[in-house]
Amino acid sequence: MLLNQQDNAGALKQARASEELLNEGARKEESFRLILGEAEMRGGEIDSGELLIVEIAKDSTNLTRRNDASYELAMAGRDLPLAEQTERAVLAQLAAESRTWTGGEAQALLRQKSFLITACWDTMGWILFKEDKAADAEAWIRPAMTMRENAEVGEHLGDVLMAEKKLADAATAYADALATLPTTDRMGVRIKIDPPRAKELRTKLDAAKAAAKMTQTPDGRADLQAMRSWKIGAAGGLKGTAEFRVLLSSGGVVSALPVGMVPHPMQEKAEAAKWSDRYPPGEDARLAARVMLNCYGAICELVLEP
């Protein structure tokens, strides 16, 4: 929690206190060693933290933890070859598993695993960015943002675009990232004080706008909506909306299960949609998502539900 709030010193202090309280068996648990390694690396004790993180990157059988370990190495700029090697192995294993999905499995499980896949796209992009491969990084992080709408992913995309001198696009990416942050607490009360990430994003947005000589702030919420929507062709007489649980691949829609009663021509329209521009180059994992098909006037569009 403290790491999410960017309180790195507090997170390290808390991890150290927990280490003192835990028995030897608990201290050896991989989940705790990952937390401790992350806290050490972000709290300034990089060498000791790196030992724990490298061990998990190399030896863990848990793909989520291996992804987390790769990301921590990238964040610190340490052992980037190992980080890239690990992340490519994780992505390959996740893609292979996803190709066994049919779309009929428990949707919550498929969405959870799809979330991990797109998180790994972002990690891969961030590793490449740290290796001074900004164009390659954008090709991974932009699809991750399209499918996830996450503040950290949006910030990464903005940083990459700044490095590529795509200043106006970077400003839009930072505005998009800001738009993903909640504006109310769990009780519905408006948040009056910006969390650290929001402050950081506003600073970066202002810098990108100044560099691009922009006078207006991009509308992040509108851009996120546009990012989720795209035209898929002529309506051909179809009218109305229909919702689907879809299983996606880079080549198109693997399956589209209608939610409720849906006319067959609308299902055929959804199944014919192409998704290759929503994927990193060469990536062939399957993703589970919910989409809305809107056919109005002469056009049909798909809207990815966040």
Cβ burial, residue 193 (10 Å; 0-12/13-18/19+): exposed
Given a contact cutoff of 8 angstroms between Cβ atoms, the answer to whether 167 and 211 are in contact is yes
What is the predicted pLDDT for the residue at 205? Answer: 97
Tokens of 59: 């030896």
Could you give the 3-state DSSP secondary structure of residue 2?
Answer: coil
CB atoms within 10 A of CB 17: 10
Q: Give the pLDDT confidence score for residue 297 in this predicted structure.
A: 86
189: DSSP letter: P
Burial 247-284 (b: 16+ CB within 10 A, else e): bbbbeebbbbbbeeebeeebbebbeebebeebbbeebe
Check residue 111 and give its pLDDT. 93
Structure tokens given for 21? 């309280």
Give the start-end residues of each E strand in the chain.
229-234, 240-249, 252-258, 287-296, 299-304
- Segment holding 246, helix H or strand E: strand 240-249
Write down the pLDDT at residue 8: 65
Tens-digit pLDDT string for the chain (306 aa): 556 656 667 777 787 777 777 788 887 888 988 988 888 888 888 898 999 999 999 999 999 999 999 999 999 999 999 999 999 999 999 999 999 998 888 989 999 999 999 999 999 999 999 999 999 999 999 999 999 889 999 999 999 999 999 999 999 999 999 999 987 767 777 776 667 889 999 999 999 999 999 999 999 999 999 999 888 889 888 999 999 999 999 888 888 889 988 888 888 888 888 877 789 999 999 999 999 999 988 999 999 987
Angle between helices 151-163 and 134-148 in degrees, nearest 10: 150
Sequence ranges of the domains in the chain: 227-304
Strand partners, 302: 230, 293
- pTM assigned to the model: 0.91
